Amino acid sequence: MPSRTRPGPAADDTRERIIDAAQAIFARDGFVGAKMQEIADRVGIQRPSLFYHFRNKEALFVAAHEQVFAKIEPVFRESLAPNGDPFVQLDRVSRAVLAVVAEEPDFARMVARTSVDRHPAAVKIVRTYLQPLIDLSVDFVCEGQRRGVFADIDPFFFTLNSWGAALMYFIARDLLAPVAKPTHPRDLARFTTTLLQMGHRALAPNDRRAVVSQRAS
Amino acid sequence: MPSRTRPGPAADDTRERIIDAAQAIFARDGFVGAKMQEIADRVGIQRPSLFYHFRNKEALFVAAHEQVFAKIEPVFRESLAPNGDPFVQLDRVSRAVLAVVAEEPDFARMVARTSVDRHPAAVKIVRTYLQPLIDLSVDFVCEGQRRGVFADIDPFFFTLNSWGAALMYFIARDLLAPVAKPTHPRDLARFTTTLLQMGHRALAPNDRRAVVSQRAS
DNA sequence: CGGCGTCTACCTACACGTATGTAGGCGCTG
DNA sequence: CAGCGCCTACATACGTGTAGGTAGACGCCG
């Protein structure tokens, strides 16, 4: 437990460096793919020393994810704070999350990985840290729908759609287009937000005829 | 290679069943996470028998993905065939892909996994099978932009955004909401298409004022 | 103030489980 | 009887976690 009375001066630093290294490795390789040896190498210590700081691989996995979600959660929660105009909230959360993710691309990969992985360790992370954020999103959409501002589509689907759209870019970018020009996060936020806003406006309860006519064609 | 002169009556069937099982396991666990033992169990044969049909794990991995992309690729390519109205193409490809994916959820997970995984085996799959589809999407957006129909945003970003939005639902659905009511693929396609259409219309070169005014607020 | 015990942080060496891939045998079927 | 398809048994490699040891910092106490 972190409630150590007087931790050695260097030890605390090492613990931090282990978590940082673990984040990068786990983000890239997932729980099973990640090797403790590589994490140790990156920190510059011997592998068994990791077990001095963390009980086992899963404990390190949890610690690494805890740190990531601890950074994302407040940003997310504040952006979705009640505001009056759901579209303003949508705009805020899109920009805020993209800003965080843009400077720490590992974040996006970790979130994506835990979503895809069915390994018990990953599932536990999702249940504990990701699910609440998803719920928050879903509640937000529901509230917007209750007020008749958002379209009457499955809020859960809408939420996942949005998350997928936002995350995919950072996940696949360096793999698929190593030389792609780095789009500024501001522009990404602009497009994503606009996309979602327009989608919702188009499907909003009080203006649904456009969609119906499209489907009829 | 599948060019076997006269495969025994049962052998060919077994090979098929191995690939089917492998698809499910690889989709769930990725290359490293998947265990040959579990694949063999599911087929109902002993593990070493897998090596009679496939040289090694990676060969099976490739075969499983080959089959998936072989089903998706033509659907995708035909939907994006030149048509005149890019929005019609957008609509077609969205519906077509979602229809395929809806009846074979493993497809979505395999595509997502290979995108996230950095394992050499997965990277090779992406390079060989996924990259061409991505390129096709990017070309489609570029063509739409050249004609002034689509907004002038990074086509690569737009493509990944769309893929992410479409895939995420099927990836995370059963994990995050085991009891969510099953939305009909038709409705998903409707929402996704409309979202993208509206986003593009809103950002289209000849009507960009709406966006600018939104950003100014 | 110097010697002692102890704690931290790390090391080397190893035990153990598990996963892939191979060697060789056996039965069925054309 | 030949060979396909599958089996049992095994070789080998790798990855986690443990046992136990060591160097140095620090408090303490005679």
CB atoms within 10 A of CB A139: 13
Q: Which residue has the higher pLDDT, B116 or B27?
A: B27
Angle between the B9-33 and B105-116 helix axes, to the nearest 10 degrees?
Answer: 50
Q: What kind of architecture, by CATH, is found in domain B63-206?
A: Orthogonal Bundle (1.10)
> What distance in Å separates the CA atoms of residue B185 and residue B165, rounded to the nearest whole number?
14
The pLDDT of residue A58 is 95
Say which DSSP state B175 is in. Answer: H
Instruction: Give the CA distances from residue B197 to residues A190, B76, B84, B87, B149, in Å, rounded to whole numbers and listed in that order.
Output: 16, 18, 15, 7, 10
Taking the C1' atom of D19, which residue's CA lies nearest?
Answer: A48
Q: Of B128, B157, B126, B127, nearest to B142 (Cα)?
A: B157
Span A65-119, pLDDT tens digits: 999 999 889 988 998 888 778 878 877 887 787 778 777 778 888 888 888 888 8
Distance of CA B12 to the CA centre of its chain: 26
Inspect the interface and report whether the beta carbons of A166 and B166 lie closer than 8 Å. no
Cβ distance A170 to A109 under 8 Å? yes
Q: Of 3.40.50.300, 3.30.450.80, 1.10.357.10, 3.30.365.10, which CATH number belongs to A64-205? A: 1.10.357.10
From the list B113, B126, B198, which residue is nearest A175 (CB)?
B126
Taking the C1' atom of D5, which residue's CA lies nearest?
Answer: B11
Q: Which residue has the higher pLDDT, A112 or B59?
A: B59
Report the predicted TM-score, pTM, of the whole model to 2 decimal places: 0.81
Place of tokens 């033992």: B37
Q: Which residue has the higher pLDDT, B179 or A65?
A: A65
> What distance in Å separates the CA atoms of residue A13 and residue B55, rounded to the nearest whole number?
47
> What distance in Å separates the CA atoms of residue B32 and residue B24, rounded to the nearest whole number?
14
Inspect the interface and report whether the beta carbons of A175 and B112 lie closer than 8 Å. no
Question: What's the CA angle centered on B157, arms A72 and A184, to 5 degrees?
Answer: 60
Buried b (16+ CB within 10 A) or exposed e, B8-19: eeeeeebbeebb
For residue A147, what pLDDT band results from cuts at 50, 70 and 90? confident
Q: Which residue has the higher pLDDT, B18 or B201?
A: B18
Report chain B's mean pLDDT, rounded to a whole number: 77
Span B79-128, pLDDT tens digits: 888 877 887 887 788 778 877 877 777 888 888 888 888 889 998 998 89
Q: Which residue from B minimizes the CA distance to A183?
A: B154
Distance of CA B113 to the CA centre of its chain: 10
Q: Which residue has the higher pLDDT, A143 or A2?
A: A143
Report chain A's mean pLDDT, rounded to a whole number: 76
B71 to chain A, closest Cα gap in Å: 21
Span A18-62, pLDDT tens digits: 999 999 999 989 999 999 999 999 999 999 999 999 999 999 999
Inspect the interface and report whether the beta carbons of A115 and B169 lie closer than 8 Å. no
Q: How far is the CA of A100 from the C1' of C28 (A)?
A: 64
A142 to chain B, closest Cα gap in Å: 14
Q: Which residue has the higher pLDDT, A191 or B23?
A: B23
Taking the C1' atom of C23, which residue's CA lies nearest?
Answer: B48
Domains in chain B: boundaries: 63-206
Inspect the interface and report whether the beta carbons of B154 and A196 lie closer than 8 Å. no
Instruction: Give the CA distances from residue A79 to residues A28, A74, A184, in Å, rounded to whole numbers and listed in that order.
Output: 28, 8, 20
The pLDDT of residue B174 is 62
Cβ distance B40 to B50 under 8 Å? yes
A2 to chain B, closest Cα gap in Å: 30
Given a cut of 90, is residue B57 above it in pLDDT? yes
Q: What mean pLDDT do residues B173-187 have?
A: 56
**Selection from A98-107, A178-187, B21-30 with the highest mean pLDDT:** B21-30
